[in-house]
């Protein structure tokens, strides 16, 4: 699966529940798909493009799994550095 490029992302991390929320582009009606346990990808109901990703147990999820199962190009290593303070 090739990853699509995204122009604008925003992210939030809930450290108490270890959940990462990634928002892509402007909000619009969408629905979730869980093709891999704990990784929910939100697709636009209009265009069917990716509008967001929710990662349960983010601190324990291998970035390689995220790269493999999320169909957009997101710098997971940078998000881990930003929220988990890992190198």
The answer to the question of residue 1 being in a domain is no
Contacts from 77-83 at CB under 8 Å and sequence distance 24+?
A: 79/11, 79/13, 79/20, 79/22, 82/11, 82/13, 83/11, 83/13, 83/15, 83/20, 83/58
The answer to the question of residue 16 being in a domain is yes
The answer to the question of residue 71 being in a domain is yes
Residues 22-66 have pLDDT tens digits of: 999 988 999 999 999 999 999 999 988 999 999 999 999 999 999
Domain span including residue 18? 9-80
Global pTM exceeds 0.85 = yes
Query: How many separate domains does the chain show?
Result: 1
């Amino acid at each position: 699966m090739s990853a699509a490029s995204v122009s604008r992302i925003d992210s939030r991390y809930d450290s108490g529940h270890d959940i990462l929320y990634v928002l892509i582009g402007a909000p619009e009606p969408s629905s979730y798909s869980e093709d891999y346990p704990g990784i929910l990808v939100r697709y636009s109901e209009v265009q069917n493009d990716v509008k967001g990703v929710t990662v349960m147990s983010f601190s324990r999820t291998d970035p390689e799994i995220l790269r493999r199962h999320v169909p957009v190009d997101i710098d997971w290593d940078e998000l881990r550095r930003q929220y988990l303070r890992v190198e």
